[in-house]
Structure 1
Amino acid sequence: MFQALPYEGNRSEQFVAVLEQLKALIHDEPSSIANLANASALLNSFLPDINWVGFYLYDGQELVLGPFQGLPACIRIPLNRGVCGTAAGERRTIVVDDVHEFPGHIACDAASNSEIVVPLIKNGELFGVLDIDSPLKGRFDHEERQFLEQFAAIISKSL
């Protein structure tokens, strides 16, 4: 059973605590969908100032909406289109301080102003992306990027 914990200490210590919670949540669970659902719920409860967090899964042709927390979202995203499609196509993390300045941005929620997308790679293959939106411009910094890349790596191992 999951126990909500107060996140104490400095930010780095809090990130470590969340990564440990993630490992405990997905330990021995074979269902990718269940693991992704719990992972999105964990991030939604931990990260302040976000309005959407979830996963898009690669079906061999495009990204398809997976487990998430937030308002209903775009269902399909072509590779190399928008922030999610670009991160998936280039297989690299993309941080956008102002989504309105990102060429080809796909606006699923008008309240979103910044975004981070981290690819999920397993055995060298694209599985999907972790996508997080915020109503604040410049919401995601380098330290949080590193944390979310570690988070995505743990998730990728469970897939």
Structure 2
Amino acid sequence: MHTDTMTFGPATYEELAEQLDGLLTGETDPIANLANTAALIYHGLPDLNWAGFYLMRREVLVLGPFQGKPACVRIEIGKGVCGTAVARAASVLVPDVHAFPGHIACDAASRSELVVPLVRDGAVLGVLDLDSPIPSRFDARDEAGCEALVAVLLRHLGDFAV
């Protein structure tokens, strides 16, 4: 389990967004930007055991840059929390993954999950996936904060497309 000793207060997501913007400014490679975003989130938020991306490839999500244990490589649209977020083109917050129908358990230690789609011009490019070993780890503030981080990332992905 990843736990940081940093203070987790109301400004955390604003601070992370500023750090992310600075980190990605000037870099045009989308994989490098996805990798640095995953690392910043993983090390910047407490109680995560996985933070990373799945990217759309020929109508299926494929594992992208991440931090944490090895993960499932392919997820079908509509399957699991990630695939559901793609199908809905909307964030999905799951307080208890064991209660989510069709949950895909890549890491048995995960208890809660937040997935935010990367949507540009109506197309889902992929998803940001966060897992925690803590039940109900994520709330509406986390959802809004991660959506803001994804918005920063999307500004730095250039012509990245599915």
Q: The residue matched to 1:11 in structure 2 has which SS?
A: coil
Equivalent residue, structure 1, for 2:59: 61
Equivalent residue, structure 2, for 1:3: none
1:34-53 equivalences under 5 Å are: 34-53=32-51
Residue 140 of structure 1, aligned match among 121, 126, 138:
138
Deviating beyond 2 angstroms after TM superposition, the runs of 4 or more aligned structure 1 residues are: none
Note if contact 1:83-1:106 (Cα within 8 Å) is conserved in structure 2.
Answer: yes
Equivalent residue, structure 2, for 1:114: 112
Note if contact 1:95-1:116 (Cα within 8 Å) is conserved in structure 2.
Answer: yes
1:53-109 CA-to-partner distances (Å, cap 9, x unmatched) read: 000000131000000000000000000000000001110000000000100000000
The worse-fitting range, judged by mean Cα deviation, of 122-131 and 64-73 is 122-131
The count of corresponding residues between Structure 1 and Structure 2 is 153
The worse-fitting range, judged by mean Cα deviation, of 54-63 and 10-19 is 10-19
* Higher-RCO chain (CA-CA 8 Å, sequence separation at least 6): 2
Note if contact 1:52-1:71 (Cα within 8 Å) is conserved in structure 2.
Answer: yes
Q: The residue matched to 1:74 in structure 2 has which SS?
A: coil
Distance 1:104 1:77, change over 3 A: same
Q: Which amino acid aligns with 1:101?
A: A
Q: The residue matched to 2:93 in structure 1 has which SS?
A: strand
Q: Which amino acid aligns with 2:42?
A: N
Consecutive unaligned residues of structure 1, counting only runs of 5 or more, are 1-5
Alpha-carbon distance, 1:154 to partner: 1.2
Alpha-carbon distance, 1:157 to partner: 2.0
Q: Counterparts of 2:142 and 2:72 in 1: how far apart (Å)?
A: 25
Q: Counterparts of 1:152 and 1:96 in 2: how far apart (Å)?
A: 18
Consecutive unaligned residues of structure 2, counting only runs of 5 or more, are 158-162
Q: Counterparts of 2:76 and 2:88 in 1: how far apart (Å)?
A: 13
Equivalent residue, structure 1, for 2:156: 158
Equivalent residue, structure 1, for 2:98: 100
Q: Counterparts of 1:7 and 1:82 in 2: how far apart (Å)?
A: 31
CA RMSD of aligned residues (A): 1.4
Note if contact 1:7-1:17 (Cα within 8 Å) is conserved in structure 2.
Answer: no
Q: Counterparts of 2:152 and 2:122 in 1: how far apart (Å)?
A: 15
1:26-59 CA-to-partner distances (Å, cap 9, x unmatched) read: 1121111000000000011111111000000001
Give the structure-1-normalised TM-score. 0.92
Equivalent residue, structure 1, for 2:20: 22
The worse-fitting range, judged by mean Cα deviation, of 149-158 and 108-117 is 149-158
Give the structure-2-normalised TM-score. 0.91
Alpha-carbon distance, 1:7 to partner: 5.7
Residue 71 of structure 2, aligned match among 66, 70, 73:
73
Q: Counterparts of 1:123 and 1:88 in 2: how far apart (Å)?
A: 14
